[in-house]
Chains A and B, each alone.
Chain A
Amino acid sequence: MHRIGVFVCHCGTNIAATVDVKAVAEAALNETGVVFSADYQYMCSEAGQTLVQDTIKEHKLTGVVVCSCSPRMHEATFRKAAAKAGLNSYMVEIANIREQCSWIHKDMMSGTEKAVILMRAAVAKVKLNAPLTPGQTPVTKRALVIGGGIAGIQTALDIAEAGFDVDIVEKQPTIGGKMTQIDKTFPTLDCASCILTPKMVDCAQNEKIHIYSYSEVESVTGFVGNFTVKIKRKARYIDEKKCTGCGECIEKCPMKKVPNEFNLGLDNRKAIYIPFAQAVPKVATIDSNYCIKLKTGKCGLCSTVCGAGAIDYTQQDTIIEEKYGAIVAATGYNPINIEKFDEFAYSQSPDVITSLELERLMNAAGPSNGTLVRPSYLSNQHDPEAHPHTIVFVQCVGSRSTECRKGSKEYCSKICCMYTAKHAMLIREKYPDTDVYVFYIDVRTPGKLFDEFYRRAVEQYGVHYIKGMVGKVAPKADGKLNVQASDLISNEQLHIDADLVVLATAIEPDKSARSIGTMLTASMDTNDFFTEAHPKLRPVESPTAGVFLSGVAQGPKDIPETVTQASAAAAKVIGILVKDQLTGNPCVAHSDELMCNGCSACEKVCPYGAITYSDKEFRQPDRTVAIRRVASVNPAVCQGCGACTVACPSGAMDLKGFSNQQIMAEVDAICR
Chain B
Amino acid sequence: MDKREEILLISGVDPKKCMRCGKCSATCPSYDEMEYHPHQFVYMVETGNIEPLLESKSLYKCLSCFACIERCPRDVEPAKLVEAVRLCAIRQKGANHIKAEDVPELVDEDTPQQLLMSVFRKYSK
Is A in direct contact with B (CB under 8 Å) within the complex?
Answer: yes
Chain A residues within CB distance 8 Å of chain B: 343, 396, 400-403, 408, 441, 467-472, 484-488, 491, 493
Given A401-B74, A403-B75, A441-B19: A472 touches B26 (CB 8 Å cut-off): yes
Chosen A-B contacts, 13 in total, with CB atoms closer than 8 Å, are A396-B21, A402-B73, A403-B73, A441-B21, A467-B22, A468-B26, A469-B22, A471-B26, A472-B26, A472-B27, A485-B26, A488-B20, A488-B22
Min CB–CB distance B49 → chain A (angstroms): 15
Could you give, for residues 3-33 of chain B, a 1 whenever the CB lies within 8 Å of some chain A CB and a 0 otherwise?
A: 0000000000000010111111111100110
Q: Tell me whether chain B's interface is mostly helix, strand or loop, or mixed.
A: helix
A470-B40 Cα distance, complex, nearest whole Å = 16
Q: For the complex of A and B, list the 4 residue pairs with the smallest distance between their C-beta atoms, beginning with the closest.
A: A471-B27, A471-B26, A401-B73, A469-B23
B37 at the interface (CB under 8 A from A): yes
Could you give, for residues 57-94 of chain B, a 1 whenever the CB lies within 8 Å of some chain A CB and a 0 otherwise?
A: 00000000001001111110000000000000000000
Given A402-B73, A486-B26: A471 touches B39 (CB 8 Å cut-off): no
Contacts of B21 in A (CB 8 A): 396, 441, 468-469
A441-B17 Cα distance, complex, nearest whole Å = 14
Q: Are A400 and B73 interface neighbours, CB within 8 A?
A: yes
Q: Which residue of B lies closest to A467 (CB)?
A: B22
Contacts of A484 in B (CB 8 A): 26-27
Min CB–CB distance B83 → chain A (angstroms): 20
A493-B28 Cα distance, complex, nearest whole Å = 9
Given A401-B74, A471-B71, A493-B31: A441 touches B20 (CB 8 Å cut-off): yes
Chain B residues within CB distance 8 Å of chain A: 17, 19-28, 31-32, 37, 39-40, 67, 70-75
Please report the number of residue pairs spanning A and B whose Cβ atoms sit closer than 8 angstroms. 67
Contacts of B74 in A (CB 8 A): 400-402
Contacts of B31 in A (CB 8 A): 486, 493
Most chain B beta-carbon contacts within 10 A, residue among A402, A471, A493: A471
A475-B43 Cα distance, complex, nearest whole Å = 32
Min CB–CB distance B3 → chain A (angstroms): 24
Q: Are A486 and B25 interface neighbours, CB within 8 A?
A: yes
Given A396-B21, A488-B39, A493-B31: A470 touches B26 (CB 8 Å cut-off): yes
Given A470-B23, A488-B39: A343 touches B73 (CB 8 Å cut-off): no
Q: Which residue of B lies closest to A472 (CB)?
A: B27
Min CB–CB distance B72 → chain A (angstroms): 8
A325-B91 Cα distance, complex, nearest whole Å = 72
Most chain A beta-carbon contacts within 10 A, residue among B32, B40, B71, B74: B71
Min CB–CB distance B39 → chain A (angstroms): 7
Q: Are B73 and A408 interface neighbours, CB within 8 A?
A: yes
Min CB–CB distance B37 → chain A (angstroms): 7
Q: Which residue of B lies closest to A403 (CB)?
A: B73
Contacts of A468 in B (CB 8 A): 21-22, 25-26
